[in-house]
Homo-oligomer: A and B are copies of this chain.
Amino acid sequence: MIKAGIVGGTGYTGVELLRLLAQHPEVELTAITSRKEAGMPVADMFPSLRGRVSLTFSSPEDAALKACDVVFFATPNGVAMQQTRELLDAGVKVIDLAADFRIQDIAEWSKWYGMEHACPDLVAEAVYGLPEINRERIRGARLIANPGCYPTAVQLGFLPLVEAGVIDTSWMVADCKSGVSGAGRKAEVSTLFAEASDTFKAYAVPGHRHWPEIRQGLARMADAEVGLTFVPHLTPLIRGIHATLYARLTKDVDLQALFEARYQGEYFVDVLPAKSHPETRSVRASNHCRIAVHRPQGGDTVVVLSVIDNLVKGAAGQAVQNMNLLFGLTENLGLTQIPISP
């Protein structure tokens, strides 16, 4: 059994990790920390876990994290980079669900995240945990930078097109819509029910932290700089990201065949039949990404529709998928639950 610890377990990615790990046949939940809630049984905060998770939140100092085989950071940005080296030195594998190790360009990271980086050398070592691109490197890693939710949906949607070199990568558009759980479990007026329901809005159009992460990923695929406009929107649903992607085709290609070939054998990426429109609830509470590709009116524009559950494939589920790879387990172990619909 793999001994797993969670640092910062009171947010939505934390409770989702708990849900998945508590049902994982090869994992033993060993420790979960929360300075603020130390001493409280986890199931008192999250009644959905009653009878299934008997852990109590402990303060970070008291938690026996070094005795774990793997530690997940479900913390705000800037926390994991302070504690990762010590854990790695103790032989613990680390999966960071925040952004500390996602951006290789340290200056760029500091600009977007507004702080100095504590360990640039570990950024260089970290592997970006998108298994559909980086599977082999993940298997051999000690430190995983778990991708952001928008970056997962957008990269998986653009990947076949960019790899195949069939679009103009200098001007791509990612119009993305996220459920409100993506904003986290923080007390804020803007995400109150009475503020965020029965309404729709864009946010962060001048610039969002996932923009450099997506650009980095697309640039790696293209092996060249890319031009990307990224607009996120807040949508009145709990879980789910829908990315609508636009690009100009530079070659005539069978798009459907291209996508099916690229994702053949990928358990978690499902290419829908031509003319389909995936909806977010078709992946709710599951680690799947469903994708459809369109060429409206037979013109030179390709439109890709890509949906994930932001808390699963966009966070906790992908982290467990990475853990499975790190420890040589079947990649989908503990991640085969059918999506919840309706």
Contacts and interface: CB of A to CB of B under 8 A. Distances in A.
A180 B290 CA distance: 23
Contact of A338 (B52, B201, B205, B338): B52
A141 interface: no
A301 interface: yes
A66 interface: no
Contacts of A281: 48, 198-199
Given A202-B244, A301-B229, A340-B285, A237 B197 contact: yes
| A interface SS class | mixed
B193 A191 contact: yes
Contact of A205 (B50, B171, B181, B296): B296
B47 A272 contact: yes
A299 B229 CA distance: 9
8 contacts: A23-B336, A50-B282, A193-B193, A198-B237, A199-B279, A202-B305, A203-B277, A205-B294
B22 A338 contact: yes
B279 A200 contact: yes
A74 to B, nearest CB: 14
A177 to B, nearest CB: 6
A338 B19 contact: yes
Given A229-B299, A340-B48, A192 B200 contact: no
A270 interface: yes
Interface of A: 12, 15, 19, 22-23, 46-52, 171, 173, 175, 177, 179-181, 183, 185-189, 191-203, 205-207, 227, 229-231, 233, 235-240, 242, 244, 246, 248, 270, 272, 275, 277-286, 290, 292, 294, 296-297, 299, 301, 303, 305, 307, 336-342
A202 B246 CA distance: 13
Contacts of A185: 189, 192, 194-195, 342
A61 B259 CA distance: 39
A338 to B, nearest CB: 5
Contact of A201 (B46, B52, B280): B280
A296 B22 CA distance: 36
Nearest to A23: B338
Contacts of A238: 193-194, 197-198, 342
Contacts of A231: 244, 296, 303
